[in-house]
Chains A and B, each alone.
Chain A
Amino acid sequence: MADQKRVIVVGGGLAGLAASIRVAEAGMAVDLFSMVPVKRSHSVCAQGGINACNDVARQQGYSEYQHFDETLIGGDFLNDQHPVLEMTNWAPKIIDLLDRMGVPFNRSNEGFRDLRLFGGSLFKRTHFAGATTGQQLLYALDEQTRRFAAEGKVNMKEFWEFLWPIIEGEGEDARCVGIVAQDMRTMQIQSFRADAVIMATGGCGLVFGKSTNSVICTGGAASRCYQAGAWYGNAEMIQVHPTAIPGADKCRLMSESARGEGGRVWVPAKKGDTRKPKDIPENERYYILEERYPKYGNLVPRDIATREIFDVCVNEGMGINGTNQVYLDLTHMDPDYLTEKLGGILDIYEKFVGDDPRFTPMRIFPAVHYSMGGLWTTYTAGDYQPDAPISGFKPGDAIPVGTEPGQGMEVGAHNNAMTNITGLYAFGEVNFAYHGATRLGANALLSCIFDGLCNGVSVVNYVREAGHTPAAEIDQSVFDAAVKQEQDKHDNLLKSTSNGTGDRKLNPYQIAFELGEEMNSASTVVKTGSGLEKCLSKLEELKDRYSKVELGDGAMWTNQSLSFTRSVGDMIIIGEAIAKAGLLREESRGSHYRTDFPERDDDKFWKASVAKFNASSGKSDVEFVDVKAGLVKLRPRDYGKTESSAGAKKEPVGAS
C-alpha cells in the first residue's frame, strides 16, 4: 500500500530489534537504521545474563514483586516505579519467548533452564547462555528480524547514521515525523518520513574516553535529539562497573557473573605485599566485599563494589603492588565448571592479558559501563494499588501482584516510553526510566527487550489511533529544511580540512581524548562540587576549541573522521549535561557519590534531574522533578554493611 504508515527504529541492538519485530508483527512497515550491521550492535557485549522470576526461586519465596523491589532499592529509588513493576511482571514471559526463539540458555541436568546468582539479590533469578548472554539474545532477535526482512516487513538501513529528528509544529503541538540520516559509505544525507520514531541508540560510554562500551556508543544520537528539544533525565547517573580489564584502546568487561559463580575480590592484607597471588595464604588476604558486606558479600550492587575497590586502592593504597588493581579470583573453582559457565569471558581475559584465569587470579579495576540516565520518557500508570494487594496474598505465595500485564503500566497507552516530543520514543539504555541511580546486573537486557515488546505496542497504537496527518502527506519543505541544516553542518566540517593550521588543540581526536580524561576523573566514582565546576569550565574550553575543529580527511566517500568529529561536538554537549546535573544534585544516591554531600537527601533530591537544552546559550538547563513513585516507600539502602540486617530485604518466608 502506497499510503501505509511507517515506523522508524534507530538502533539495532536488543531494544531496536525487539521493537522492530513487535511493530512489524502488528503489520506496520518498519525502517531500521543502524550504524553497523545489527548483529554487531553493542548488546553483543552483555555477558552475565537476564533476570526474571522463575519457578525455583518462586518456591523459595521470590516473586516478580521482589524483583521489582530489588530493582528499586538497587536504583536507590530514583527509578520510575510503574514501568519497573510492569517490566518485572513481564520478565518470565520474555524468557519464555527467547527460549522459543532458540536462545541456547544453559540447562540443568534435567534439561530445565539453569540459573545463577547476581548482584543485589539473595535468590538465583538470572538466566544465562554461558558468559555471552547478550550475544545470544541479540542473535536470536537478529535472526527473527532477518526473517521479517526476508518477508519484506522490515526495511534494513545498515551503515546509516542518524543525524536529526524531524519535528513539525511548535511547543505542545511539536511532533516527530521522520529523521535525517547519512549513508556512511556514500555520505549522502537524506530525510525519511515516519509516523513515529523509536530511538534505541544505547549509551554514551565514549564521553568518558575508555569505557566498556563499543566504539559506536558515543551518545551522539541521544545528544542530537536532546539538542532538538527532547529532555534528558538523570544524566548524572553513570554506572562504573567494578570489574574490567584496563586496556590501551578500551576497558574490557569482566562480567558480574564471575562473582555470581563464586568469584572473590581481594587484595593482599599487608600493604606492599609483592608475593604472587597464589603464594599469599588465605589468612593474609583481605576479601574486601565479603568483610565489609557479610550478607551480600561479592554480590553487592555495582556502585557499592566499585566505591569499595576504589577506596581500597586510591584511599588506602592497598591495590596490588601499589597499582589501582585488585584480584578477582576464580582459581578455587573447578576449571571445567568455569569453562562451561564462564568460558566466553575467561577467553577474553586470556587473550588480552595472557594469563589463564582458571589458574591465575585476574587483575581488574572499575570502568565506565552503563548510563542509567537517558532521554526522559513518560507513561500511563496501570491499576496496581499497593494498599490493596490481590486478596489472599501471603508471603511465599506465587505472585503478590496480578499476573496479567497492565498492573504497572497501562499496556498500549500511546505515551509509554514516549519522550516529551510527541511521536519520538526512547527504548532501552537510552530510556532513563528503569534503573534509577544504579542498574542491577542482568536487568539491562531485560529493560531493552521489555521496551521493545511492551512499548512497541504503544507505538503501533499511537500511529493507528492518534489521528495525526500521515507523515506521507506532510509538506516536503519540513523535510528539506532539516536536510539542509544537516548538509550545512556537514559541509562546514568538510571545509575545515583546508584550514590546516595543524594546531593539535584543534584535532578532533585530541579534543575527544581530553573530554574523556576530564569526564572520567571528575564525573564518575567520586565527585565533588569543585571538581565538577572545574570540569564544566574545561568543557567550555573544549567547546570553544571544537568550534574551530580541523578535520583530517576531506573525502566525499566513507569519511569516518567526519562522522567521528561530528559526534565529538555532540559528546561535549551530553558531557555538559552529565556534569551539570551532577553538580546540582547535592546529595549521594546510588552511583552518584559526592564527598561534599555524602548522604542521600530525600527531602531535596528524591527527584529526577531533567536537563533541557537551551538553544540560545548552547548549554543545559537542569531542573529537578518528583520521581514518579507511589508503589514502594523509601527506606535506607545499605545492603547490610553493618552487623544488623538493616538492608530491609525480604528473607524467604514460608506461607503461614
Chain B
Amino acid sequence: MSEAEAYSYDADMRKANRKQAVEGRSVIFKIKRCDGPGKSTRWESFKIPIETGANVISSLNWIAANPVTVEGTKTTPVVWDSSCLEEVCGACTMVINGRVRQSCSCLIDEYAPKDGDVMTLEPMSKFPVIRDLWVDRQRLFSNLTRVKGWVPIDGTYNMGAGPKESHEQQQMRYALSECMSCGCCLEACPQFTKEEDESQWDSSFVGAHAISQARYFNEHETGKQLKDERMDALSGAGGINDCGNAQNCVKVCPKGIPLTESIGAIGRSATMHAIKQFFQGKK
C-alpha cells in the first residue's frame, strides 16, 4: 500500500470508527512524559471516561482535574501547548497513535471507539521538548525569517490599494496562505532532522512549510521584489536541493496545502535563478 492509500484508508477507518463508537466507555491514554530538557522520559497511563464529542484536549483537561494514573499513583497535570482548539492556530500539534496531527481536531470516537482502546500521545520528535508534550518550535518561525516571508511594503501610511489580482491568482495564493506553522510537514519529513544548535539552523533543511511560504510571497506582485533574496536562501545549504522527494509533507498537512506543488515550483525558480546568476557573473 502506498502512503497516499494509507492516508485515505486512515480517513475511512476513522469515519467507520465514529459510527460504532460505544457510549459510556473508558479509554486508556498512554502519554510520553518528560519533566524538562535533559530529563529522562517515562510513560504514564490514564483511564478516562469518554463524553460525547470528546477529543484529546478534553481528555487532557480531564487528567488536569484528576491527575491519577491507572496504577492509582498521583501525578502532575500533563503539559501541552494549545490555543484556539479549532485547528487554525497550529499550537496543539503532537504525535497521536504514531501520526502527527492537531490534538484539538482528534476526536476520540475516531481513534478509540471501544471500551479499553488505547490512545498514545507523544511530543513531536523534530523539536526539543520543553516539558511533556510541549516542544519548542522556534526554528520553524526562524525559517520564515530565513526566506523573508513578508511583502516589503513602504510603510503603513495611506498610499491607496494594493496591486489588483485575478480571482484565479487569489484562489491559488489563498490555498498557500492557510499554513498555520504547525510543523506536521516537518515531523513527517525524513530530511528535516532535530537540530538544537541554533547556529546550524540557517544551513539545515528549511522544510516544506517555508518553501511553500516563499512561493506564496513570490507570487505576490510586491512580494516578488524579494524573490532573488528568497531564492538565494533556498539555493544554498539546507535549501530546496535537500528535499528528498519523499512527499510525506503533503500527506500530513492538515490544511491540504499543495506542498509538493510548491516544492516543484520553487525547484523550477531555483533553476532559473541559477541561470540568471550565471549570466550576471555572480556564480
The interface bits of chain B over 82-104 (1 if a CB of A lies within 8 angstroms of the residue's CB, else 0) are 11111111110000000000001
Q: Is B159 an interface residue (CB 8 A)?
A: yes
Alpha-carbon gap, A102 to B164, bound state (A): 11
CB-contact partner of A558 in B79, B149, B177, under 8 A:
B79
Give the contacts of A294-323 with B (CB-CB under 8 A).
none
In the complex, A44→B180 CA distance in Å? 9
Question: A552–B76 Cα gap in the complex (Å)?
Answer: 6
Contact of B90 among A40, A105, A453 (CB under 8 A): A40
Docked-complex contact B87 and A558, CB < 8 angstroms = no
Give bound CA distance, A553 to B67, whole Å. 10
Of the A-B pairs whose beta carbons lie under 8 Å apart in the complex, a sample of 18, sorted by A's number, is A41-B89, A42-B83, A44-B83, A44-B89, A96-B158, A96-B160, A96-B161, A100-B161, A101-B151, A101-B162, A106-B170, A107-B170, A111-B165, A135-B180, A144-B153, A248-B54, A354-B18, A552-B76
CB distance A112 to B164 under 8 Å? yes
Q: Does B181 contact A (CB under 8 A)?
A: yes
Say how far B69's CB is from chain A's closest CB, in angstroms: 13
Does any Cβ of B come within 8 Å of A477's Cβ? Answer: no
Contact stretch, chosen from B189-197, B215-223, B240-248, B262-270: B215-223
Asked if A93 meets B158 with Cβ closer than 8 Å, knowing A111-B165, A146-B150, the reply is: yes
Q: Is the CB of B167 within 8 A of A557?
A: no
* Contacts A249-B55, A351-B105; A102 near B151 (Cβ below 8 A): yes
Of residues 182 to 239 in A, which have CB atoms within 8 Å of B's CB atoms? Answer: 185, 214-216
Question: Does B64 count as interface, using CB distance less than 8 angstroms?
Answer: yes
B178: chain A residues within 8 A (beta carbon)? 132, 135, 344
Assembly CA distance A552 to B77 (angstroms):
7
B84 touches A40 (CB 8 A): yes
A-B contact count (CB 8 A): 190
Kindly list 8 other residue pairs between chains A and B, CB separation below 8 angstroms, not including A21-B156, A105-B170, A248-B55: A39-B181, A45-B86, A100-B162, A113-B161, A146-B141, A147-B150, A246-B53, A247-B53
- With an 8 A cutoff between CB atoms, is B36 at the interface? yes
CA distance A140 to B223 in the complex (A): 12
Which residues of chain B are within 8 angstroms of A107 by Cβ–Cβ distance? 165-167, 169-170
Q: Given A40-B91, A99-B161, A354-B18, decide whether A553 and B76 contact each other with a Cβ distance below 8 A.
A: yes
Given the known inter-chain contacts A99-B162, A146-B150, A561-B76, please indicate yes or no for A509 contacting B177, CB distance below 8 A.
no
Chain A residues touching B, range: 35 or more
Q: Which residues of A contact B159 (CB under 8 A)?
A: 96, 100
The contact of B177 among A100, A136, A555, by CB within 8 Å, is: A136
Residues of A within 8 Å of B85, CB to CB, are 214-215, 249-250, 252
Whether A36 and B91, one on each chain, are in contact in the complex, defined by CB atoms closer than 8 angstroms, is: yes
Q: Are B152 and A104 in contact (CB under 8 A)?
A: no
Which residues of A sit under 8 angstroms from B173, Cβ to Cβ? 104
- Least CB distance from B153 to A in Å reads 5
Which residues of chain B come closer than 8 Å to A4, judged between CB atoms? none
Q: Using Cβ atoms and an 8 Å threshold, which residues of chain B touch A509?
A: 61, 64-65
Q: Which residue of A lies closest to B85 (CB)?
A: A250
Interface string of A134-145 (1 = CB under 8 A from B): 011001100110
Task: List, in ascending order, chain B residues with CB within 8 A of A601's CB.
Answer: none
Is A331 interfacial (CB-CB < 8 Å)?
no
Asked if B119 lies at the interface with its beta carbon under 8 angstroms from chain A, I say no
User: Which residues of B have CB within 8 Å of A246?
Assistant: 53
Closest to B52 in A: A248
Binds A, one of B130-138, B200-208, B275-283: B130-138
From the candidates A40, A96, A129, name the one contacting B89 in the complex (CB within 8 A).
A40
Chain A residues, CB < 8 A from B90: 39-40
B105 touches A352 (CB 8 A): yes
Q: Residue of A at shortest CB range from B178? A: A132
Is B155 interfacial (CB-CB < 8 Å)? Answer: yes
Q: Which residues of B contact A136 (CB under 8 A)?
A: 174, 177
**Is there an interface contact between B83 and A139, defined as CB atoms closer than 8 Å?**
no
**Which chain A residue shows the least CB distance to B174?**
A104
Check: A328 CB closer than 8 A to any chain B CB. no
A560 touches B77 (CB 8 A): yes
Which chain A residue lies CB-closest to B80? A560
Instruction: Please indicate the chain A residues that have their CB under 8 angstroms from the CB of B170 in the complex.
Output: 104-107
With an 8 A cutoff between CB atoms, is A582 at the interface? no
Within 8 A of B (CB), among A32-87: 36-37, 39-42, 44-45
Interface size on B, residues (CB 8 A): 69
Chain A residue with the shortest CB-CB distance to B158: A93
Query: Would you call B165 and A557 a contact (CB within 8 A)?
Result: no
CB distance from A32 to the nearest CB of B (A): 13
- The docked-state distance in angstroms from the alpha carbon of A54 to that of B155 is 22
Could you tell me if B67 and A552 are in contact, using CB atoms closer than 8 angstroms?
yes
Is B149 in contact with A143, judged by CB distance below 8 angstroms? yes
**In the complex, A654 Cα to B265 Cα: how many Å?**
51
Instruction: Considering the complex, give the chain A residue whose CB is closest to the CB of B50.
Output: A248
Contact at B174–A101, with CB atoms within 8 Å?
Answer: no
State A246–B177 Cα separation when bound (angstroms).
Answer: 28
Q: Is A625 an interface residue (CB 8 A)?
A: no
The CA of A567 and the CA of B53, in the complex, are separated in Å by 27
Chain A residues in 8 Å Cβ range of B134: 558
Instruction: Chain A residues near B148: list those with CB within 8 A.
Output: 147
Binary CB contact string for chain A from 592 to 619 against chain B (1 if under 8 A, 0 otherwise): 0000000000000000000000000000
Whether the Cβ atoms of B35 and A557 lie closer than 8 Å is yes
Q: How long is the Cα–Cα vector from A352 to B53 in the complex, in angstroms?
A: 8
Interface centre among B79, B86, B170 (most CB of A within 10 A): B86
Contact with A along B1-24 (1 / 0, CB 8 A): 000000000000001001000000
Across the interface, do B171 and A340 meet the contact criterion of CB distance under 8 Å? yes
Nearest 7 Cβ contacts at the A-B interface = A99-B162, A143-B150, A509-B65, A248-B58, A102-B151, A558-B131, A100-B162
The answer to whether B41 has its CB under 8 Å from any CB of chain A is: no
Using a CB-CB cutoff of 8 Å, which residues 16-65 of chain B contact chain A? Answer: 18, 35-36, 51-55, 57-58, 61, 64-65
Do A111 and B36 contact each other (CB < 8 Å), given the known contacts A39-B141, A214-B85, A555-B76? no
Q: Which of B87, B130, B162, B177 contacts A351 (CB 8 A)?
A: B87
Asked whether any CB of chain B lies closer than 8 Å to the CB of A108, the reply is: yes
A104-B173, A352-B105, A558-B134 given as contacts; is B77 within 8 A of A147 (CB)?
A: no
Task: Report A560 CB to chain B, min CB distance, Å.
Answer: 5
What's the Cα separation between A377 and B39 when bound, in Å?
47
CB pair B91–A557 under 8 Å, yes or no, is no
Task: Select which of B52, B153, B156, B220 is within 8 A of A453 by beta carbon.
Answer: B156
The verdict on B145 contacting chain A, using a C-beta distance below 8 Å, is: yes
Is residue B144 within 8 Å, beta carbon to beta carbon, of the partner chain? yes
A2 interface residue, CB < 8 Å from B? no
Q: How far is the CB of B265 from chain A (nearest CB, A)?
A: 17
B107 adjacent to chain A (CB < 8 Å): yes
> Do A249 and B222 have beta carbons less than 8 Å apart?
no
Contact of A561 among B77, B156, B160, B223 (CB under 8 A): B77
A553 to B65 CA separation, bound complex (whole angstroms): 11
- The answer to whether A37 and B180 touch across the interface, beta carbons within 8 angstroms, is no
Q: Report Cα–Cα, A653/B55, bound state, in Å.
A: 53
User: Which residues of A have CB within 8 Å of B222?
Assistant: 100, 102
Q: Is A507 an interface residue (CB 8 A)?
A: yes
Complex CA–CA separation, A136 to B176 (angstroms): 11
Complex CA distance for A21 and B151, rounded to whole angstroms: 14
A501 within 8 A of B: no
